[in-house]
């Protein structure tokens, strides 16, 4: 089944965007072709943009600490697997400590004058050609091993943030209970009963060719299913659609 996720607040929205970018960064930075390395560089600058607009390090540290305190209260609680609990608490401590000691996110990149120039050229459509920035063209033609080493050195300062983000989202997703639901005539809504959620997860069978368009607030969730026409324009559907969902509050 195809998974769709919808955040209930801007913090989780930023987390999901960062997760998406980190996934792209890992994929493209591991390739050998210099054109794929350019996609990796563009993605790295996108991550830096998000971190400059929001204190992502501080937000992730707060969530890690909140999870540590919540799980710590379950020690010696009947019905809780203590070995698994201790393992998770140790992982939280390790990830929290690693993120705490790093400096301002992306500072190493901001202090690199050449990367700053490249970042500016990337903001111009087609602006990183050999005629615009010959030094970048020269870097692209360096041996693959050297380019990979450079990419790793630029990505490494973000590793602790990625690890913290991954753990926070893993715990959040794990807090949801997956249930079956039915969108009658392609529409579904559910009152939330005053409980504060952070993430909605929706699983849809890809075979019928439909997808959910989701909106939500602290009171209610709305899901409307659509399908794509021959020109891929979304069209609302009016038949019943079965799906699965999970509301996550960690």
**Architecture in CATH of 177-249:** Sandwich (2.60)
pLDDT of residue 106: 87
Per-residue model confidence as pLDDT tens digits over 146-168: 999 999 999 999 999 999 999 99
pLDDT of residue 84: 87
Low-confidence stretches of the chain (pLDDT < 50) are none
As a whole number, the mean pLDDT across the chain is 93
pLDDT of residue 100: 94
Compute φ and ψ for 39, nearest 5 degrees: -65, -40
pLDDT of residue 208: 77
pLDDT of residue 85: 86
| CB-count exposure of residue 219 (10 Å: 0-12, 13-18, 19+) | exposed
Domain ranges of the chain: 9-171, 177-249
In angstroms, the first-to-last Cα distance of the chain is 24
Name the CATH superfamily housing domain 9-171.
Answer: YacF-like (1.10.3900.10)
């Amino acid at each position: 089944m195809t998974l769709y996720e919808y955040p209930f607040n801007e913090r989780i929205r930023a987390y999901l965007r960062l997760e998406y970018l980190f996934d792209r960064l890992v994929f493209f930075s591991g390739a050998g072709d210099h054109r794929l390395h350019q996609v990796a560089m563009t993605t790295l600058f996108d991550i830096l943009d998000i971190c400059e607009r929001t204190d992502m390090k501080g937000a992730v540290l707060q969530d890690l600490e909140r999870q540590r305190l919540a799980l710590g209260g379950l020690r010696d609680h009947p019905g809780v697997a203590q070995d698994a609990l201790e393992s998770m608490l140790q992982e939280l401590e390790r990830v929290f400590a690693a993120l705490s000691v790093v400096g301002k996110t992306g500072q190493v990149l901001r202090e690199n004058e050449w990367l700053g120039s490249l970042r500016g050229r990337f903001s111009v459509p087609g602006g990183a050609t050999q005629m615009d920035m010959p030094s970048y063209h020269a870097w692209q033609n360096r041996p693959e091993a050297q380019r990979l080493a450079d990419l790793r050195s630029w990505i490494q300062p973000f590793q602790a943030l990625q690890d913290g983000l991954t753990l926070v989202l893993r715990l959040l997703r794990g807090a949801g209970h997956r249930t079956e639901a039915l969108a009658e005539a392609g529409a579904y809504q559910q009152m939330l009963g005053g409980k504060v959620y952070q993430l909605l997860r929706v699983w849809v069978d890809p075979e019928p060719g439909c997808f959910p368009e989701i909106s939500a607030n602290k009171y209610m969730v709305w899901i409307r299913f659509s399908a794509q026409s021959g020109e891929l324009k979304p069209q609302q559907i009016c038949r019943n659609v079965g799906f699965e969902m999970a509301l996550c509050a960690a």
